[in-house]
Structure 1
Amino acid sequence: MDFLKLTGKTVLVFGVANRKSVAWHIARTLEEEGARVLYSVRSEARRQSLAALLAGRSVYVCDVEQEGAVDRLAAAIAADGHASLHGIAHSIAFANYAGGFRPFHETGRADFLQATAVSAFSLVEIARAFRPHLAPAASVVTIGISSLLVTPDNYGYMGPVKAALESAARFLAKSFAADPKTRDVRFNVVGAGPLKTSASAGIPGYIESYLYAEKLTFRKRNLSTQEVADAAVWLLSERSSGMNGATLTIDAGLGSNYFDEEIIRLAMRPEIKK
């Protein structure tokens, strides 16, 4: 039974870096559901490193930080006969933590603008470039974070950047809906809780934050990357046709469990053993 109705659909996936990537889990699940997946990776070196993983698949190179790169990608994909895309998965983010953690007020202009261009504005450029190539009811999904209200010290300026990404998705949904030709194209966000990915490993102090977040989930077990991918694939399917300009939070209850008894005990009376 083809419940998601993805068989024969063509979906472009941005952001595969390795087997741990959210983008890879999304792409693999799409393929399992019968979709044809096109891959866009950051660089030629990345394409070479993924040669075995993506063998036999259509892989394109697009560094979204470079002006005009997304337009060239859209032209190349159309020239290869993929004139109609049924979905786009945007799973791209970058922050320069090479200099180590700094207080938010010391964020450098270049770092903030680079992170915004790659992680948020790229969604706008992708939407604009691929607009002529989207099927009438295409779905665009991006990967955000589960809460924009929290202020983790070690996430720094990526919090505001992810807020820009989520806002951009809503504005794109409205902008496309204003044109009868693209009225049914949808833009949604998967707001994911902490994940164990290669990208997250580069965040200072992430392991401690990840383990702390796990204690706050209802089930005392953090999300798997596959759970986030499953939500994204559902949003990419027509079964989610009523979702537009929305953020679907996937956090295993993390955002609703701040006053968990165990966490309070550990914070206030750590010497007491249960």
Structure 2
Amino acid sequence: MEHDQMYGLTFKDESGTVEVQQEGRLGYEQYAGKAFQRLGFGMNLSARYHNQYATTTEVSGMELLVDSRDASTLGAHNYVVSESYAMDALEHGLNDENKPLLEAIYKVQQRRWEQTGKVTAVSEDNLDRKPYFVYNTIFSDDIPWAAITDKGEDMSEMRSLSVKAAFSMAYLFPEREYSKVLREAVKEARSPKGGWYSGIYEDPAKGFNKAVTANTNGVVLSIFLHKLYGALNQQCDNCGKGAKLGEDFLQRNKDKQQCLGKLKTASPY
């Protein structure tokens, strides 16, 4: 952690040379930055959406906030996807900064559906076929609705409706008509024994994206948790028993450290 940002270390070559790289782009950077901020790290830049790297662009006739850092020179793509904004809301809660951004993420995907007839809720997802992982984005590297690998290779033929994105958008905007469309579109995208599939390919010939992952199902479970208790980290604020860094970090007394009290149950919506 340095200069209010997150940094990672990678081995540059076989010699073992270590390279320091700034981590995160607009969206996931703020989602992660807020978590580190709660642990006491200075994240004034990474935890804010409207920082010096933020700019705007137009997608499907709507203005969106995007990251201005260029993948061609810095090597990191500025993916705009649903998941980071949804998880920020589910875990950290909504405020005057992220609420309008989440609204824009929802509306631009509704706009694409209105313009193309294709039900749209996109995020990064595992695939059940090669290349096995694709970033289905609202915007990336100056391209609206880009579907690419982490190396920037075009994967438009693998574009899909993401189950986790559809459910999270529908949950966060429950009374909207488009939310009903999203719920209806993905309600059968599941394995009776294995959980929710990752998505449904836009190409009808491909059908379901039957990759079953902890990521997709973890997001669905996060929605249930929010439905029962509200934003998780706000619950930690209320009980005063949030995570602390130190030697006893993992040595917790289960009864005394139970933030949520008596467990509840929720039925699918």
TM range (shorter): 0.3 to 0.5
* TM-score for both structures, normalised by structure 1: 0.32
